[in-house]
Structure 1
Amino acid sequence: MSEGLLAGATHLGPVHLRVVNIAAALPVWRDAVGLSLLGEDDAVAGLGVDGKALIVLHEGAAVALPQKARDLFHVAIHVTTRRDLAHAAARLKASGLRYSAQDHLVSESLYVSDPSGNGIEICFDTPERLAGREETTDGRVLLLATDGSTHSGLEPLDLANLSRSLGDSGRIEPRLPADAFIGHIHMRARSPETLMAFYVDVLGFRPHIQSRTFGLFDCGTDRRRHMVAFNIWTRDELTEPPPGAAGLE
């Protein structure tokens, strides 16, 4: 390990989030996302897999987090098989919640939010599909696939193809698998360079993407390059969170 850098085995622990109401949040986090409720009292609920906490909800936020407010963009729960992602997609579809699905080439992802505006990603990593990146003269970033094709990294995910991973049984697993884990946290930021300086120079994360043109900055370890990310995609529309808003605790 290089001096000053975190070990490759470094991983993210439970993510603590503020919500307006735990009872309203549970149908999303437990029933749609697929986490198990590990414990709950009047103001705190822990959720996770196989007895391991991944998300801790703290009740008491005054208002939901607005979509273009500085703070949490999403917390990403990663699964280790495409079949697990297919089960998650089936749960989201059955829930009736509004969700989206994207093919980032380096990953396949499902997106949903809880009633308090906390963004959630369920992600399956596919780094073997990426051959490289190139930046065009107009500032766009293109991803080069191993088959020679180019991608924006923002294509819609083929959900019909994904569903074929479930086979013919028709059974939908109600819970995420025991090896699901918090893979990364992504935030909206006003000054990502300042935040990167703290995470890299003080905490020891390794910088990865640093592009104002693309609007993304991230850092991680040798093993997982994308663990903490900041975007400036809302740019001039970014607002400060209202007092007492939901988001990161």
Structure 2
Amino acid sequence: MSELPFAATTPISVSRVGLKAKDADKLAAYYRAVVGLNELSRDGSVITLGAGNRPLLDIEADRAAKPDDPRSAGLFHTAFLLPERADLGRWIRHAIDQRIPVDGASDHLVSEALYLTDPEGNGIEIYADRPHESWNWHGSHVEMATIGLNVPDVLATVPADNAEWKGAPENSVIGHVHLRVGDPKEAEAWWHKEFGFDTVAVYGGQAVFLSSGGYHHHIGANSWQSPHAGKRDAGRTGLSWVEMRSANAKTNETREDPWGTVIRTVPDKA
């Protein structure tokens, strides 16, 4: 079994994400078939999906909800981190075989990623990190870029005798969550104050990337689609909450960021 990715070993990391959906069954089926999550439980209107026995995604049914507004604050994407590069290769082969539509494929220097959109408009990233010892740091900032993904190179890492995609492998985690916000500088200040996160990259005044423990980012926040957005409308589909796992937390806590996005914290029981 692969080791737990570095992203999940830092003092604070992303635990899971909650989504509100008009059709929870259809959305859960998508995450099972496309992302490779397995259904762990159902509790009333909530379907919990995960990898192995690790819960990663809660989908709550709300048929009365209005569709998400991509210009508002909310979810840009949930990023599912696979333990090894070969796992990403297996997923790419699965996507090719199943003709799964993708929105993009990028090499970010620190990671390699593919991007999708689920049936209710929620962004998804499926990625694998390069070894964190190989990342280039310039002081407190990590070097990241967006260039074309060398798909054949990733596919070449898949062993011929273990090429089949069998779903998200054990120790897959949510490596990061990228949020739509009204003001990245305000988001940066909030994550500094509430979680003690470090700023590891800034893209002009439109995006900021923050982390704990030297990861390339646990949280991204951008205003590319949502400049000057106000408080979120809780009656829309999309992001319900983000749950962080913290070695510093003694009890469960709930906060709201400046746009009303619910950020939960749970103690790290590892």
CA apart distance, 1:244: 2.7
Equivalent residues of 2:183, 2:222 under 8 A apart? no
User: Which residue number in structure 2 is paired with residue 110 of structure 1?
Assistant: 114
Identify unmatched segments of 5+ residues in structure 2: 1-8, 241-270
Aligned to 2:177: 185
Matched, 1:92 2:95: yes
Whole-angstrom CA distance in 1 between matches of 2:136 and 2:53: 37
Matched, 1:79 2:79: no
Q: Which moved more, 1:49-58 or 1:158-167?
A: 158-167
Which residue of structure 2 lines up, in the alignment, with residue 131 of structure 1? 136
Q: Matches of 2:96 and 2:230 in 1, distance apart?
A: 31
Identity across aligned pairs (percent)?
A: 25
Following superposition, the deviation at residue 171 of structure 1 comes to: 4.0
Q: Does 1:248 align with 2:255?
A: no
- Cα distance change of structure 1 residues 52 and 24 upon mapping to structure 2, 3 Å threshold: same
Separation in structure 1 between the aligned mates of residue 155 and residue 62 of structure 2, nearest angstrom: 38
CA distance in 1, matches of 2:232, 2:13: 28
Q: Write the distance in 2 (CA, Å) between the matches of 1:246 and 1:25.
A: 12
Aligned to 1:138: none
In the TM superposition, what is the alpha-carbon distance from 1:242 to its structure 2 partner?
6.6
TM-score, structure 1 length as denominator?
A: 0.79
CA offset at residue 107 of structure 1? 0.6
**SS at structure 2 position matched to 1:222:** coil
Cα–Cα, structure 1 residues 71 and 88, in superposed 2: closer, same or farther, change >3 Å?
A: same
Query: What per-residue deviation string (whole Å, max 9, x for no partner) do you get for residues 99-141 of structure 1?
Result: 121111111011112111111111211245543569xxxxxxx
Q: Is contact 1:118-1:246 (8 Å) kept?
A: no
Cα distance in 2 for partners of 1:68, 1:133 equals 33
CA deviation after TM superposition for structure 1 residue 238, in Å: 6.8
CA RMSD of aligned residues (A): 2.9
**TM-score between the two structures when normalised by the length of structure 2:** 0.74
1:58 is matched with which residue?
A: 60
Counterpart CA distance in 2 for 1:94 and 1:181 is 24
- The answer (yes or no) to whether the contact 2:182–2:227 under 8 Å persists in 1 is no
Specify the alignment match of 1:3 in structure 2.
none
The match for 2:126 is 122
Task: Look up the SS of the partner of 2:182 in the other structure.
Answer: coil
Unaligned ranges ≥5, structure 1 = 1-6, 135-141, 144-151
Instruction: Report the equivalent of 1:162.
Output: 154
Give the secondary structure class of the aligned counterpart of 2:94: helix
Say if 2:46 is the partner of 1:47. Answer: no
Contact 2:28 2:49 in 1 (8 A): no
Following superposition, the deviation at residue 63 of structure 1 comes to 3.8
